[in-house]
């Protein structure tokens, strides 16, 4: 069914699949695993953000020793937050596509 989906539907399906590949049997990610996932799968978005206070706050919260785990909803909010603070949105605005 996803092969016939829109680009946006495919993008969200891909995010869900990547999340599920990293998640534990309960469908959650540890904070350490979340950080590893971001560094390996979301590198181009977070690259260059290291000096921004909000980025440091987000990553610091993932470094905390805690039993708290992240569910898919929190993960998607994290992705959106990191994307909004990145330079990616400006780059997207500069790209013209034809449909």
Q: Contact 62/35 with Cβ under 8 angstroms?
A: yes
Give the residue numbers spanning the domain of 41.
Answer: 2-98
The pair of three-digit structure tokens given for residue 82, joined into one six-digit string: 């990191």
How does pLDDT run across 46-86, given as a tens digit for each residue? 888 878 888 888 887 876 666 788 899 989 988 888 888 87
Residue 16 has pLDDT above 60, yes or no: yes
Per the structure, the count of domains in the chain is 1
Q: What whole-number distance in Å separates Cα of residue 53 and Cα of residue 51?
A: 6
The pTM of the full predicted model, rounded to 2 decimals, is: 0.76
Average pLDDT, the chain: 83
- C-alpha closest to that of 26 among 68, 55, 66: 68
Q: Report the CATH number at residue 69.
A: 1.10.238.10
Kindly state the average pLDDT of the residues 91-99: 69
Q: Contact 28/17 with Cβ under 8 angstroms?
A: no
């Amino acid at each position: 069914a996803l092969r016939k989906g829109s680009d946006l539907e495919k993008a969200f399906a891909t995010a869900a699949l990547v999340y599920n590949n990293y998640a534990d049997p309960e469908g959650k990610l540890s904070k350490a695993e979340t950080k590893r996932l971001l560094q390996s799968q979301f590198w181009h978005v977070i690259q260059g953000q290291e000096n921004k206070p909000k980025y440091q706050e987000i990553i610091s919260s993932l470094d905390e020793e805690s039993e708290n785990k992240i569910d898919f909803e929190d993960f998607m909010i994290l992705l959106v937050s990191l994307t909004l603070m990145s330079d990616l949105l400006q780059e997207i605005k500069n790209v013209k596509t034809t449909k």
